[in-house]
Amino acid sequence: AKLAPGRPSAYSTTDSPTPLRHVTSYNNYYEFGTDKEDPARTAHALRVRPWTLVIEGLVKQPKTLGIEDILKLAPLEERIYRLRCVEGWSMVIPWLGFPVASLLKLVEPLGSAKYVEFITAVQPETMPGVRSRVLDWPYVEGLRMDEAMHPLAIIAVGLYGDVLPNQNGAPLRLVVPWKYGFKSGKSIVRIRLTDTEPRTSWMKSAPREYGFYSNVNPEVDHPRWSQATERRIGEFAKRKTLMFNGYTEQVGQLYTGMDLRKQF
């Protein structure tokens, strides 16, 4: 189903987008299997209607929203973003969505809210992957409040002008382009504002390898592989990975004074 055309955005990159067939056939969505070809094969079963999103925690107005209301919440924008996976590959994806901030403003965060926790769907009957204990389900991700409120952080509901395919995280998916891809939780059902740093699924799985911030950083290697370069899907030669995935100008100031080696 087509969505209303998104308004072009100044935040879009001019890099040429990765072909749709690659964007929808090469996915990390462990609930649907750990091979990257698995989600495209199995995610069709995901029930995306009805879908409700709960926003709760340190907010003045906790809310439960139906997907239809969320789609009317804010005008959709097209955001063509680079996506850098922690595994060393990257894509360019034309997302359709709206800023996370417009969702959070709705519930009026309290001054004490410091972090935002994103909790994703668990449908054991449609998700073959959750039977195995590869990760601690539900998949949980998190951002600091100022990161979540940053205009680059969006909730995507579509890509390439269409409704978001299930394997890409339908119907609501976080997109944080300056962080490794796994920070962008898929099929979100609950957003919780907290005063303590959320323990994410990957931090629980391998705390030495995955930190809370997980900003794209060519100078801080994954303990088991280098992050200096990446292979853009569809390209033969490797590219140099850019600091904050090339979004330093926009997000660099969020991390002034932090030791990014320690807070990786």
Partner 1 sequence: MNPALIKPPLFLACLAPLAYYAWGAQADTLGANPIEAVTRGLGTWALNFLLITLTVTPLRKYSGWAWLGRLRRMLGLFVFFYAALHLSTYLWFDQFFDWPAIAKDILKRPFITVGMVSFALLVPLAATSNAFAIRKLGGRRWQELHRSVYLIGILTVLHYAWMVKADISKPLLYAVMLGVLLGLRVWWRVQERNRQLAGAYLPKPRGRIIPIAVKKQASSDGSA
Q: Which of 205, 219, 252, 253 binds partner 1 (CB under 8 A)?
A: 205
Question: Could you tell me how many residues of this chain bind partner 1 (CB under 8 A)?
Answer: 27
Question: SS3 for 128-178, per residue?
Answer: HHHHCCCCCCCCEEEEEHHHHCCCCCEEEEEECCEECCHHHCCCCEEECCC
> Using CB under 8 A, which of 236, 240, 249, 257 touches partner 1?
236
Distance CA 40, CA 37 (A): 6
Smallest separation (angstroms) from partner 1 to the CB of 45: 20
d(CA 5, CA 224): 42
Based on its alpha-carbon atoms, the radius of gyration of the chain, rounded to whole angstroms, reads 17
Least Å distance, CB 27 to partner 1, is: 9
3-state DSSP assignment of residue 31? helix
Among 1-9, 24-32, 108-116, 143-151, which window interacts with partner 1 (CB under 8 A)? 24-32
Please answer whether residues 1 and 163 qualify as being in contact, where contact means their C-beta atoms are separated by less than 8 angstroms.
Answer: yes
Task: Write the interaction track for partner 1 spanning residues 36-75; mark x where CB under 8 A is met and - where it is not.
Answer: xx--------------------------------------
Q: Which parts of this chain interact with partner 1 (CB under 8 A)? A: 21-22, 25-26, 30, 34, 36-37, 86-87, 89, 132, 134-135, 205-206, 221, 224-226, 228, 231, 233-234, 236-238
